[in-house]
């Protein structure tokens, strides 16, 4: 099983307390179920995208000059200096769904252009 949360679950996100808490619940649920189901050879992992150029981000930043500045701040916070794109994620999903990841479970993996580095 591959769940999708957000890096907001890992580090918080100003102005998004409910969103971060909900995504944190997905992370905790995934880790708990990974422990409980490991003996049955069922793997659960969670993908945590960073800021991604989607309609949700557009709703968050809003329109006009202040929206553009907020979007720019998101981009500038990412070491790779760009927002994620939906096409950045399928490769990891394919890997996690393949037999190449059979010994991985309970992992929280950030895809965030370097914004979140843990380990």
Between the alpha carbon of residue 43 and those of residues 46, 49, 93, 111, 112, the distances in Å are: 10, 20, 13, 19, 23
- 116 within domain boundaries: no
Predicted TM-score (pTM) of this structure: 0.85
Q: What are the pLDDT digits (tens) for 22-69?
A: 999 999 999 999 999 999 999 999 999 998 988 877 777 778 888 888
How many domains does the chain divide into? 1
- 119 within domain boundaries: no
Active-site amino acid positions: 19
Q: What is the CATH number of the domain that holds 8?
A: 3.40.50.720
- 117 within domain boundaries: no
Tokens describing residue 60: 């968050």
**CA atoms of 92 and 78, how far apart (whole Å):** 19
Check residues 114 and 56 and name the one with the higher pLDDT. 114
Percent of the chain with pLDDT over 70: 99
> The domain containing residue 78 runs over which residues?
2-111
- Quote the Cα angle for 104-107-113, to 5°: 115
Give the closest residue to 53 by CA, choosing from 71, 70, 41, 39: 71
Give the closest residue to 46 by CA, choosing from 98, 83, 87, 10: 10
């Amino acid at each position: 099983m591959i769940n999708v949360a957000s890096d907001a679950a890992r580090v918080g996100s100003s102005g998004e307390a409910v969103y971060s808490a909900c995504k944190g619940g997905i992370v905790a649920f995934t880790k708990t179920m990974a422990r409980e189901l490991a003996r049955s050879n069922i793997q659960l992992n969670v993908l945590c995208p960073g800021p991604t150029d989607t309609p949700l981000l557009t709703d968050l930043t809003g329109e006009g000059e202040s929206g553009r500045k907020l979007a720019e701040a998101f981009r500038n916070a990412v070491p790779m200096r760009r927002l994620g794109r939906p096409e950045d994620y399928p490769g990891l999903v394919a890997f996690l769904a393949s037999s190449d990841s059979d010994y991985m479970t309970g992992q929280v993996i950030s895809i965030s252009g370097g914004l979140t580095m843990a380990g």
